[in-house]
Amino acid sequence: MTLKTLSVTRDLLATNKQAAGAIRQELRARGILGINLLSSPGSGKTTLLEALADRFRGRFRMAVIEGDIETERDAERIRAKGVPAWQITTGGACHLEARMIGRVLGDVPAAIDFLFIENVGNLVCPASFDLGEDLRFVLLSSPEGDDKPAKYPQAFLSADGLILTKADLVPYLPFDPARAAAEALSIKPGLRVFTVSAIRGDGLDALDAYLVETLERLRSGRA
Amino acid sequence: MHELSLIASVFDVLEEKAREHGAIRVAGVVLKVGVLSGVVPDLLTSAFDIYKKGTLAETARLAIVAVPVKLRCPDCGGEAVREDMEFSCAACGSRRVEIVEGRDLFVETIDLET
């Protein structure tokens, strides 16, 4: 009986990274900007997507992949806006993985501009899983408090942009958007920060312009 | 909170290596866990204990090595470990640092009995 030590150095997220890489390649080849939305439950991801659906109608085509533990509710809300949507119910899993997106990708119409992926509401686990997106946003709503970036640094570190949502509630809450932004920026400098109220429309012009500009950049880099 | 599914991936690696080397038992496993990986070592240990029953690794010793955050600074070229969750260059203070270690999860070594 002999004992030997094998040096393995196997990345446990390698399978996900590979699947994500393939998705990124496919989306870029199709000229689609993939956008992954991360946040805790109830921060307004779906409401923001409804607002963007209204704004993009007639200008850009979007599609949405919804991740939730249970129910089709979010996908139904998006479809009600005339936007194609697929619901992934994880049945308990706390995050979406690239493979789950890969399975849906074949059904996504070729001629779209933006593919939004609304992750499972959770500010922790989704941060570790690349879904093949080119843009990752963290949403933080005013009722959650402006002290969250330092408490959940992984999510903010992994993001390209921060969307402070429910700006319409700020007058009633001890939430300081500037403090939330400063804390997030101390973790991830260069984070693009947007302050929006999806139901009132504040701040959506800037977000809309940034999405369009990023899409154009992606497509010009494709040539 | 996805430690159990990560442990399932660990067991995929263990089974593959045990088969490759004709092992009769897995005696030990070393996992390297980045402090930014979002994974809690205690939960990983519990998940391992649940998963190992009835496998070749039933009596394996699990060691988890925490990998601290290592930052590289493009401004001064410095590279250093940072323990305080402060994402700036310890040498020049630049905030443009990139994270070179501390995010990943690795099966580092496996002890096999053949």
Please determine, for residue A156, whether its predicted confidence score (pLDDT) is greater than 50. Answer: yes
Query: Is position A10 within any domain?
Result: no
CA distance A158 to A184: 11
Query: Is position A2 within any domain?
Result: no
* β-pairing verdict for A135-141 and A33-38: parallel
CA distance A9 to A45: 37
* Residue from A7, A9, A10, A158 whose CB has the most chain B CBs within 10 Å, to mutate: A10
A21-34: pLDDT as tens digits: 999 999 999 999 99
- What pLDDT was estimated at residue B1? 65
The answer to whether A6 contacts B10, with C-beta atoms less than 8 Å apart, is no
CA distance A140 to A94: 18
- CA distance readout (Å), A40 to A37, A95, A148, A154, A191: 10, 11, 10, 13, 19
Query: Is position A193 within any domain?
Result: yes
Examine the predicted complex and report whether its ipTM is higher than 0.95.
no
Query: What is the domain range of residue A210?
Result: 15-217
Q: pLDDT category, B10, cuts 50, 70, 90?
A: very high
CATH assignment of B3-113, among 1.10.540.10, 3.90.550.10, 3.30.2320.80, 3.40.50.1100: 3.30.2320.80
Can you give the residue ranges of every domain in chain B? 3-113
When divided into structural domains, chain A yields a total of 1
- What pLDDT was estimated at residue A223? 41
Give the CATH number, domain containing residue A70: 3.40.50.300
Tell me the whole-structure pTM to 2 decimals. Answer: 0.90
CA distance B61 to B83: 27
Report the residue from A5, A11, A153 with minimal CB separation from B106: A11
A interface with B, Cβ–Cβ < 8 A, is 1-13, 15, 93-95, 124-125, 127-128, 150, 153-154, 157, 186-190
Query: Residues of chain A with pLDDT > 90: what percent?
Result: 93
More confident residue, B3 or A137: A137
